[in-house]
Amino acid sequence: MSEYKLPQYKEENITSELQGLIDLRTSLADKDIEVYYAKSVEFSKKLKEKYSMDEINGCRAYHLIIGSTPVLDKITKFDFEGDDSCGKFLVELDKELSVDNAK
């Protein structure tokens, strides 16, 4: 998978991007559920140190990472940006697990 980029906010882009992240998360869990769980908890804690719970609960991709169901009318963004991006976290973890599994 190439470098992760936030989708432009159009419903058809978000739906497609969300499905891509769901598929990637499922693949990661299939590769090594313990590592996925540990890394996602670590990533979640990092976000909680930086953002308010309203900001975190308003991020759709965050709910995907932790496996929770969002309250859809509370969603204010698809993902965080930069190193806080949940999509970027999944892509980087996929690369890490792919290298580890190749050994």
pLDDT digits (tens, 9 = 90+) for 27-82: 888 888 899 999 999 999 999 999 999 999 999 999 999 999 888 888 889 899 99
pLDDT above 50: residue 1: no
Closest CA to 90 of 11, 13, 27, 16: 27
Domain presence at residue 2: no
Looking at residue 59, what DSSP letter applies?
Answer: B
Alpha-carbon span 49 to 41, nearest angstrom = 13
Domains identified in the chain, total number: 1
pLDDT above 70: residue 13: no
Range of the domain at 63: 11-97
Domain presence at residue 4: no
Domain presence at residue 6: no
Q: What is the pTM of this model?
A: 0.79
Domain presence at residue 103: no
Domain presence at residue 65: yes
What's the pLDDT at 15? 74
Q: How far apart are the first and last CA of the chain?
A: 19
Q: Name the pLDDT band for 103 (thresholds 50, 70, 90).
A: low
